[in-house]
Structure 1
């Protein structure tokens, strides 16, 4: 039964997947022994494995069973010993296009004894359910439902059963696709199925006893494979727009046309074949890969820039009955520079006026078939003949691509009436894939006549003259000619420039005469040359310019002159000093150096000359001289003996410095300057004195019992008044402060706890604490009543060597305390006899009105100013020494 099922499956495959009438890949059947040794040949290269009739060539074979192998010629052999009854496996054949073909191989055993029914029953009973997985074909035609297969369980032999199915296609999407006859087990499909949507269904079947509804067998997993049907035509995928250079080589890959098919992969249903419908002389396409290539190397963009290529795609490898589709690919040919610019005319002519320059004289058009506004089209022009003097310039009009010919130097028609040139046009990009070359064209320019002004000949006239010539001396004649008449008739001459006004020009003849002294040494002369500009004017008022350059010859008209007539000579004590004296002469050789130096006739004999050179001499002391100013007569003459006696004022001094033989006198009074070492000594002394002061302060303020204070607020201490300059040892041994939690006499509602700590001068001293502050107070007797004096709000608390800022005793509390004290004092004074306290007693005066501009003049008028507590915020470190002593004494008693 199993073998027949396999045979049916293979036949179904061969029927459902026909390639064409000539490409039928039927299964390979082989009758073999039950026991196969290794290396046993199952079949030699068959027509199926060699794809005969398919028009394809196999390139690789693969066996689905590891016990078998396929040689490169299609021969199937065993790799190891195998024992079989019936064997089914597949051989996959890959063709030259990369497509995979499947060929089923069915092996049947020659020994019939192995096919006994007992064995078959044993195998069927072992699996309990029958049959094998089911197959349906997609998109079957009505009517529905259609029977698929019958399922049965061996438990039906002993039980009366019914069947039930559930799962995909039954109870889940797509619900109701499959139904089952509960009594017979017939599986049916109710409608057509699209394999591209549901390629496979997996559900299960169950069998129950009809009476007890208990399963009589384990459930059966059922797989229904949807067999593919060639119901989808291939479709193009992606863009079909390509570019390639024109005149590319044949075989150049242009691009790839992509297509896909929704049918089952690796089957003939998805084997797509590509075919060109047109432009087959220009392009070719691979029939299975879709790669588009150039077929010719004569693709010309100028003939056709965009080529529309029709392409057919067909499945089943292009066989009849296959589904197809048609599309269009666009191939754009890109430009290369295969066309040089060409001239429209064989000769171009133009005109230019003489004496004109930097003017456009001709436009030369060209044609170019290449793409506009690209380097292949843009032209570059050059005058290749007739431009040795650089009279022309070529440019390109960026809009029209025309050549523009400019004349940059003027022409003289009398010399050159006609000019012949040759212009060559090129592209910015070089020529490729063409035998053409750059083209040239002749150009003829006619120079038109113009009435010109007179012309000097030569344009620049050089005249050699000596300086200091007498005025009126004629040094030359400079004339101009009319270009047309070639004579000087009617021409007049004028000066344009003469910086020193040395020359006059005779208007009618052009003679040049000396007007002022010509001086070669003048700053107007450069390299012995002096320039004069002359203008010539004809009868028609046309002008022409020329230049006269005077080459001035030197004469001996300058004497040598000493540069520095007040040199400084450094006093070297007992050694004789010297100084260099230099002279200059504006004349040239042989009227200048070498100079002759001599001492004047009236020199005093204290000087001598030595080491004379061409322009200098060393003046040296003949005797030792003190500091002072000395006058030395010195005679200096040039090579021709022209010279005079000059005076040199030599200053002898003690030089502060001397650089390259040139001295610089020092200060006249040595006591007026300390010098750098003196200044340094003063600075160091000041620094040492400052350091000493800092050390003294440090030692004077340091004690072994010193309390660490943190003066972060810069205030808080109070200087107590005392009749002694400092507390003695007896004061330190006694406590004179008392502590309390409040201020005596302040009406603030805070409980106060007064503790007597000790006595000060026989009186009770008390200290009050309020929050974090300290209020010190003492008592004083007034008669029989004791009054509390205002205490010192020192704003600090000494405890554990820590200084804390006090901020709770404010100005209002202070004034309340002062008021209480004054009220009691005035009451006491009023009770005593008259005159005892003089003016301190409160008097009663008459009302003088609204008040006085001077304010109150009583004894208590300035109470507010004297009793203010603001000074507590500014005591700072002045209070620290006294606080240190007080704290030390108090701390030892506590």
Structure 2
């Protein structure tokens, strides 16, 4: 029988229906066919409730979305619940969005869920629809207390269906606690629907049971859907809180601040969370030693902190706490458990190492090193064999000369005092040291470094020892002028007896004298010049010549010292030009810089004076010197001299007039940079005349002689048959003239005789002779010039100084002048010399 609904319910239903209609109209433009699903009023999570035909709405959808998170839509249109849902109003709706991400097209399906009002009853293959207005077949909250004492079976509730008014209904249940483990815990009376529990249940083992109730008729009809039921087991405070560890061990540093965290304890309780049964409270029950109270515990977190800054490891290094945890927020009726907490006090460096004695006395023999003379000890209350306990020793005073050092013995922590530099009894008979000790770790208390250090004094007595001579200072010097004559004497080296401070009975001898320049007097140590001294010698550095001297006493004890002879400079060297050869690339350069160096001291050196040291006016006309600074000058050419090598004598004088002449070899070359110059012919002297060796001159003369013999024969033979002068025969024009001054094939210059020009004078040809001279190659041309001086040369009939050139590569020509010599004179001149010099001709180029 259906009861009349209140007016408010009707109004609410109308409002919801209106809202659903507006929603449907809103999506009418892009929505598909609406779908209505009939479902029960209560829907479990992850349950299938129906299927929607998505393809009918949108075939190309690749993204499906539900507007209600309580529902999930699969690709085939299946609708599942994601959470448990109760249709309190009987209806619920949501929208399914279908979209294609490629073309941004979207459609929507409106889904309406309605409470199912029709119940189908199956009998064989026939269906019968039962209609009723009111039913009582819904989940009823049910619970029982864990560990119940009964009596059993214990009634829990009654399951009843409204269809029992019209049918005979049998009730049954299935699920955990019935036909699943733990089996036979619950049962229901078939006819009444009364639900019973057969025994006690532990909530910590089973928090709840989800069973399903069924209502059927005797002949198998199922007028009701299966009814899910949850039986909750109510918690009872039957579990003690348990600490996670039976014993906690923490460490906290001594002298830490108040409120420093020591550690945290933790406990668990199996009872139901977020209830009084699991609300825990931590407390400290007891502290050993009991006084003073140094620790506290937070009641809710279990964090242990310090309440005092007076923790002292050297007084008590460990504390033990008895702690308790109790549920019911610490109420007296709550369950509790105890545990033990051990707190170790960590060491800090709050104690200084202290010497066991304030003063020490020891002794050591002079001249001994690397010996241990004393051990000192300290006391430290800090933890042994830690950086807070280990000591570092230092010498504060008395070790200005570095004779001592003190180190720590790592095994005993003692300070070991050693002598590392020999002591001298004659200088100091007693040394007083102040030593100090600190720890490896810094001192934790506020104090200056001096007040935080323990100190002690050590008196060291130096014992006398019979010693040999002492070379002190080990390096001694004397001054001797470098031009001092042989036999000059000087004071030399002196050693002495450290006890008597006397130099008597000491003998000297040289141990090392690199050049043997001096001798040494055996008794006095004075030296005498044995050979000339030279301050500018190659091995002399900074003007000091060192010799090694050995001084010995009567019993053979000795010492070694060094005598440095300071050679006083004498202006005995003129400044010399460092680079005697220079190259001037004529197209791009007009001058070259020359630099002079004087090996003497600066007072005998710059400023330098540069000048041309020659009386040859041709040299002075061609070259010019211009001073650049105190040590350099610029050499420049004038009057456009031809390419070649020149020798220019340059005189350089220092400030006191000491001078030196350097013959500079200057190459005028057709180049851009000096590396491009490949000129190789010998240099010209002074103003440009060529200077060659005698063998080169002879080879040139022989070559020219042969050439003129051929020319003389041709011309003279032609003059006998003709009355008029004739030029060279035509067939001679096809011959080659090779000029070479080398033994090897060399660079042959081939020129046609068409490039030659010959001159004959008079009708009676007495012979033609060419000018003889030396050849100089530069820039690819051969030059034949006169050589002055009459060294086995033939002078031109035109007079000295007349030049004849052969330039086959630049289209030059040979000028043949008339000569007063006939063939017999030429023959008598050349024949004796041909036989004499032909053997040596192949070596001429080397000269």
TM-score, scaled to structure 1: 0.52
- Counterpart in the other structure of 1:444: 459
Q: Is the 8 A contact 1:633 1:647 kept in 2?
A: yes
Q: Which residue of 2 aligns with 1:138?
A: 146
Following superposition, the deviation at residue 260 of structure 1 comes to 1.6
| Corresponding residue for residue 463 of structure 1 | 478
2:240 corresponds to? 233
2:431 aligned residue: 419
> 1:506, 1:143 → 2: CA distance?
134
Match of 2:300 in 1: 288
| Residues 177-235 of structure 1: CA deviation (Å, up to 9, x unaligned) | 2345556766543222112122334446667788x787899987665443322221111
Q: Distance in 2 between matches of 1:223 and 1:341?
A: 75
For 1:190 and 1:288, the matched residues in 2 are separated by 40
Deviation at 1:361, TM superposition (A): 4.3
The alpha-carbon deviation at position 583 of structure 1 amounts to 6.0
Q: 1:178 to 1:534 in 2, by over 3 A?
A: same
Matched, 1:553 2:568: yes
CA change 1:223–1:510 in 2 (3 A) is: closer
Equivalent position SS for 1:468: coil
Say yes or no: does 1:314 pair with 2:326: yes
Shift of 1:381: 3.2
User: What is the match of residue 482 of structure 1?
Assistant: 497
Deviation of 1:453 (Å): 1.9
- Residue 343 of structure 1 and its aligned partner are, at CA, apart by 2.9
The answer to whether the Cα contact below 8 Å between 2:610 and 2:625 also exists between their aligned partners in 1 is no
Alignment partner of 1:275 is 2:288: no
| Counterpart secondary structure, 2:550 | strand
Partner of 1:519: 534
Tell me the secondary structure at the aligned position of residue 510 of structure 2: strand
- In 2, the alpha carbon distance for the partners of 1:538 and 1:386 equals 33
User: 1:416 Cα shift?
Assistant: 1.5
1:263 aligns with 2:271: yes
Structure 1 position 467, deviation (Å): 2.0
Whether the 8 Å contact between 1:315 and 1:324 is mirrored in structure 2 is yes
Asked whether 1:385 is paired with 2:397, we answer: yes
The answer to which of 509-518 and 351-360 deviates more is 351-360
Secondary structure of 1:607's aligned partner:
helix
The equivalent of 2:349 in structure 1 is: 337
Deviation at 1:301, TM superposition (A): 3.8
In the aligned structure 1, how far is the partner of 2:593 from the partner of 2:305? 96
Cα distance change on mapping 1:580 and 1:245 into 2, 3 Å: closer
Q: After the TM superposition, which residues 453-602 of structure 1 pair with which residues of structure 2 at under 5 Å, given as runs?
A: 453-558=468-573, 585-588=598-601
> Hey, what's the Cα distance between the residues in 2 that align with 1:656 and 1:429?
77
Q: Is the 8 A contact 2:135 2:162 kept in 1?
A: no
Of the three residues 340, 352, 359, the one matched with 1:328 is: 340
Q: Secondary structure at the match of 2:490?
A: strand
CA distance 1:230–1:458, change in 2 (3 Å): closer
Label 1:186 to 1:586 Cα distance change in 2 as closer, same or farther (>3 A).
closer
Mapping for residues 666-745 of structure 1, pairs under 5 Å: 668=777, 670-671=779-780
Does the Cα contact within 8 Å between 2:348 and 2:444 map onto a contact in 1?
Answer: yes
Provide the C-alpha distance between the structure 2 equivalents of 1:633 and 1:197, rounded to a whole number of angstroms: 122
C-alpha spacing 1:453/1:628, structure 2 compared with 1 (3 Å): same
Distance 1:262 1:470, change over 3 A: same
CA 1:326–1:633 in 2, change beyond 3 Å: closer, same or farther?
closer
Shift of 1:553: 2.0
Verify the 8 A CA contact 1:570 1:663 in the aligned structure 2.
no
The answer for the alignment partner of 1:793 in structure 2 is none
Q: CA RMSD in A?
A: 4.7
Q: CA deviation at 1:283?
A: 1.7
Per the alignment, in what secondary structure is the counterpart of residue 293 of structure 1? Answer: strand
Summarize deviations over 1:132-161 as a string: whole Å, max 9, x none: 755433223476445556777888899888
String of CA shifts for 1:12-58, please: whole Å, max 9, x gaps. xxxxxxxxxxxxxxxxxxxxxxxxxxxxxxxxxxxxxxxxxxxxxxx
Q: What is the distance in 2 between the residues matched to 1:161 and 1:370?
A: 88
User: What is the match of residue 57 of structure 1?
Assistant: none
What is the 5 A alignment of 1:672-821?
Answer: none
**What aligned pairs does 1:299-310 form with structure 2 within 5 A after superposition?**
299-310=311-322
Partner of 1:780: none
Name the SS for the 2:277 alignment partner.
helix
SS of 2:329's partner is helix
User: Aligned partners of 1:635, 1:290: CA distance in 2, in Å?
Assistant: 104
CA offsets 1:449-501 (integer angstroms, 9 cap, x no match): 33322124554333222223233332115332211233234221122222222
Superposed displacement of residue 288, structure 1: 3.0
Secondary structure of residue in 1 paired with 2:777: coil
Name the structure 2 match of 1:99: none
What are structure 2's unaligned runs of at least 5 residues? Answer: 1-132, 682-775, 783-847
Measured in 2, the distance between the counterparts of 1:179 and 1:559 equals: 135
* Cα distance in 2 for residues equivalent to 1:272 and 1:659: 101
**Larger deviation, residues 314-323 vs 372-381:** 372-381
Q: 1:568: Cα distance to partner?
A: 6.8
Does structure 1 retain, via aligned residues, the 8 Å contact 2:644–2:778? no
Q: Secondary structure at the residue paired with 1:317? A: helix
Compared CA separation, residues 664 and 423, structure 1 to 2 (3 A): farther
**What residue number does 1:607 align with?**
620
Residue 296 of structure 1, CA deviation: 2.0
The match for 1:90 is: none
Number of the residue aligned with 1:192: 200
Determine if contact 2:492/2:563 at 8 Å carries over to the other structure: no
Distance 1:610 1:395 in 2: 73
CA shift in 2, pair 1:152/1:418, >3 Å: same
Distance apart, 1:330 and its partner CA? 3.7
Any conservation in 1 of the 2:327–2:336 contact (CA below 8 Å)? yes
Match of 1:795 in 2: none
- Name 2:253's counterpart in structure 1: 245
**2: CA distance between counterparts of 1:650 and 1:157?**
144
On the 8 A contact 1:607/1:619 being kept in 2, the answer is no
Give structure 1 stretches of 5+ with no counterpart: 1-124, 674-894
Cα shift readout 1:626-675 (whole Å, capped 9, x = no counterpart): 6777777777766666668x684766755445769x996799254489xx
Question: Could you say what secondary structure the match of 2:467 adopts?
Answer: coil
Deviation at 1:414, TM superposition (A): 1.7
Looking at structure 2, the residues matched to 433 and 336 of structure 1 have their Cα atoms a distance apart, in angstroms, of 10
Name the SS of the counterpart of 1:269 in structure 2: helix
Aligned length in residues: 544
Shift of 1:412: 0.9
> Per the alignment, do residues 647 and 174 of structure 1 end up closer, same or farther by CA in structure 2, a change over 3 Å counting?
closer
CA contact (8 A) 1:339 1:434 kept: no
Secondary structure, in 3 states, of the residue corresponding to 1:320? coil
3-state SS, counterpart of residue 484 of structure 2: coil
